[in-house]
Structure 1
């Protein structure tokens, strides 16, 4: 093992665990080690656009021919899966989305087929979360706006409740915490 780690919470200390592969979370060197670990992932694909931000990875690809696009997605996704397996990493299936972006005027009635990659099946999704932004298939941002309104409504409800019995300092602390 290249690193042994345990965590402390108050007087409780977890048992020590050895990290044999990957990058230990919460370590000082973790972010740098992670970047070194994944810096060659763009070499895994030979077309499309791979976007890396911290531990989020997104892949986009375009093609005017729908059948060719589905084939390209399958091939490039297979390359990515091979890279992940070679580097002993796994796809988070719950966070992996297949979204077809289009202009409203160019929308067809034909839907994308499911794409099977390795042991999992990707079904088309109407939207995906990308770095906190909900992006829908026609880039209308309605889903994102609804998400922000919902979050603001619950925060406003809490602040209104607190306002009846809290000081201005407590309200400001709660406001900045929301």
Structure 2
């Protein structure tokens, strides 16, 4: 359908070089002056979808530990990058201190651009681009981050963003007051989007309530699992729906491995394992890796190892993990990912010297 087409900018090499220089200077300025919202995880170094989910889940767990009920609204936008109003973007850049020649350079970059559509070797006439940031360019992601950067200032709830994927989070000990908070937060978000000419996709916007209390009488629409950035969240954070989704993906990969086993050499088979199987084990494992449901994933991993090692279904595959294939088990991947996290964030942890001064040995 024509409405599903997404314009992609084919950027010349020289333009990429100039854009890269502009981006590095702009990003450095925003970081040094602490201008970017801390919970924006999209298109930034050392940020990722996994870290966005971890930030959200940590906030949910913190509220649940305080015996609160947590409500969340997952907002989906319609073609957010294509409807960015240039005049509003220029005003925001000016507000953040990008003025004079620098602002004029960005204005020149965005104005008087032309686009066309080619379908089945038939091309349309050129049309002038009056809105949006050029997707496929170096500057596009950063300019969109600037455009949406003040969203959190206008919404009373906590918000976690990955580019245009926005999640609102409210907490309260009373579920009815929580519902009022969610309604107010969503209305504030709608007002901001309307003022900035962005459009919410009502059909894809979801709500979920997180609670350990089984006595609450909640509507089914508030307890259905939701999918955010590739992770399925259920109302009690059991991770069972997410693990079920992983197992379905792993079963398809095992089917492929079984077909490839007699067609390719072992090195190619191992590359297929790491390229299509291992990535599903690693993504978000710090969240679901210690849950009871993760045992099912480990069973599928052992099936894959036995398949590649020509072992029977009930035969031990421990030696194949450690000695033959040098593949980490699911538990080892979980431990490794946590060790990497601690190493990268060592300054955020409190040492025992800061808690007490007596010898523990």
Counting matched residue pairs gives 165
Change in Cα spacing, 1:73 to 1:112, as seen in structure 2 (3 Å) is farther
1:88 to 165, 187, 197: 197
1:74 to 158, 161, 183: 183
Q: Quick check: which one's strand share is greater? A: 1
TM-score with structure 2 setting the length: 0.41
The answer as to 2:128 corresponding to 1:30 is: no
The answer as to 2:278 corresponding to 1:171 is: no
Distance 2:232 2:257 in 1: 25
Deviations 1:30-61 (A, max 9, x none): 10111011001102212x21001223211110
Distance 1:41 1:112 in 2: 29
What is the SS of the residue equivalent to 2:171? coil
Change in Cα spacing, 1:61 to 1:153, as seen in structure 2 (3 Å) is same
What is the aligned partner in structure 2 of residue 145 from structure 1? 243
- Note the C-alpha offset of 1:174: 3.5
Deviations 1:67-121 (A, max 9, x none): 2111111111001011111111122334321000001xx22341149xxxxxxxx
What is the aligned partner in structure 2 of residue 119 from structure 1? none
Larger relative contact order (Cα-Cα within 8 Å, sequence gap ≥ 6): 2
What is the aligned partner in structure 2 of residue 42 from structure 1? 152
The answer as to 2:160 corresponding to 1:62 is: no
- For structure 1, the residue ranges without an aligned partner over 5 or more in a row are 114-122
Distance 2:264 2:115 in 1: 42
Distance 2:202 2:241 in 1: 21
What is the SS of the residue equivalent to 1:62? strand
- Note the C-alpha offset of 1:176: 4.4
TM-score with structure 1 setting the length: 0.79
Distance 2:118 2:136 in 1: 12
Contact 2:168–2:185, Cα closer than 8 Å, also in 1: no
